[in-house]
A = this chain, B = another copy of it.
């Protein structure tokens, strides 16, 4: 076809440097520095970092790493709590076209060493607070990365050779002309998921996906230049659900938090006018059950996004009373964090309180940047009826689904199947479009041929005033096949509770076959991201029978 035969809409209308730029979340910082240079980007204790300063620090870091030979697709791992340097890494490493690998600070040295080797980390940035853990991990790695240490207040000297983070920055150019990726599909982040079995899998994000996820979150969560975001979600978790980038895209302020504890949360909310925070259920539980003497009152409403497990009606009620507006989200490392959000609908305001809380506890509807969401039959891949009853698997598709697992085509092929990401989570699909997780398949307890949703039993248990956390699993039973076994963590300072009292409480609120036959008390085992480790409890329940 000659030039003249081309369609007029395909002639003289090509991509140029003026009208096409590969998407990358790093550009949000360049934009914010140009637009809001003197506005506060980051607050960390007494430290204040403006957008102009943050951008200069990130360019220094990118420049210094480049000077040390780090470039396109080289892996830069980071093990840190929610400190400013963690935010800086989320911009500086993408500027280079390198890959950021945030590591879970709650993991053991062997798993960290596995991740460093598997991801071929060439640099490891370490928060001094975790020096002992890193020292152990470094003894196990095959190839030792360049270690960069961020000095932590009060931490001892690191027991390994490391470049000081600020000294590294001093090597760099604050006006560094970074190039970003030539292709927006290029790999941006590597996030190991803490699976319950086997080696961790490394989900890989693209620049395109992170850029879009940041905008999708900003729209869904209402981030603006006036937003003040408190870091109660670990930034190593799905790249902080994209908030390191989303808050910057909106020009808001991020408030760092090294250790998530109720007193600090309340104090920072009041002191800095926090408007938004995210967190696992344990964070909400911590806020809702905070000692009255650490509860500082504040005038603003704080939007609080939570995912991982549906918030109970008790938690929702207490959070509302304290001035929080809770939005339940759903997603996974594979979907860059949130894929759905349970957006409050105007007509819910008229519902009776418990019905309203039940609506708010759903997983909700797709973010605008998600291209498809369905509950489908895992066998046929066809959507189930939107009847609120038929159970299927949650599936999603779009640009905010991971590229795949690093070096693991089998796992990738089992997760990205055809045009869909298969979450492995079982749910019903409501007529209004909202999805609601009924249970992960292994969390369904089958007793005497009847299905029992462990979530339903847990929801009832957490309505008890003395119970802080509840986990219900199947206990093998000679007569019934399985029976529900409840593990309970009580609120600090609550009166002692007996298993008979718990069972009586459940009998008033549940069908008899759903009432736990066995009740145990004590702290619940949790994963590094705060999820209750049901597989541990399942083994304990099995050992009892």
Contact = CB atoms under 8 A, between A and B. Distances in A.
A18 B250 contact: no
Contacts of A249: 219, 368
A419 interface: yes
Interface string A7-25: 1111111111111110100
Nearest to A18: B416
Given A21-B397, A21-B398, A365-B34, A8 B407 contact: yes
Contacts of A36: 345, 365, 433
8 contacts: A8-B120, A8-B406, A14-B403, A16-B419, A19-B398, A21-B399, A36-B345, A219-B219
A23 B216 CA distance: 13
A27 interface: yes
A35 B366 contact: yes
A224 interface: yes
Contact of A399 (B23, B186, B365, B403): B23
A149 B223 CA distance: 42
A39 B345 CA distance: 9
A180 B404 CA distance: 25
Interface size class of A (residues with CB under 8 A): 35 or more
A18 B407 contact: no
A365 B232 CA distance: 31
Given A219-B250, A368-B250, A403-B13, A209 B397 contact: no
Nearest to A185: B15
A465 to B, nearest CB: 35
Interface in A281-323: none
Contact of A13 (B9, B120, B370, B404): B404
A117 to B, nearest CB: 12
A17 B373 contact: no
Given A8-B407, A37-B433, A17 B73 contact: no
A19 B250 CA distance: 25
A412 B407 CA distance: 45
A12 B15 CA distance: 28
Contacts of A401: 18-19
A199 interface: no
A31 interface: yes
Nearest to A344: B225
A516 interface: no
A44 interface: no
Contacts of A371: 21, 27, 31
A99 interface: yes
A365 B35 contact: yes
Contact of A187 (B13, B18, B216, B226): B13
A161 to B, nearest CB: 27
A13 B406 contact: yes
A496 interface: no
A399 B23 CA distance: 9
A204 B324 CA distance: 45
Contacts of A241: none
A242 B72 CA distance: 35
Interface string A399-426: 1011110111100100011111100000
A343 B18 contact: no
A484 interface: no
A8 to B, nearest CB: 5
Contacts of A225: 343, 345
Contact of A12 (B39, B366, B373, B412): B412
Contact of A73 (B9, B12, B18, B38): B9
Given A10-B187, A19-B398, A35-B343, 17 more contacts: A12-B412, A13-B204, A13-B404, A14-B403, A16-B416, A17-B397, A18-B397, A18-B417, A19-B401, A21-B399, A23-B399, A31-B371, A34-B366, A34-B433, A219-B219, A219-B223, A222-B224
Contact of A402 (B19, B224, B399, B404): B19
Interface string A204-238: 10000100000110110011111000000000000
A271 interface: no
Nearest to A419: B17
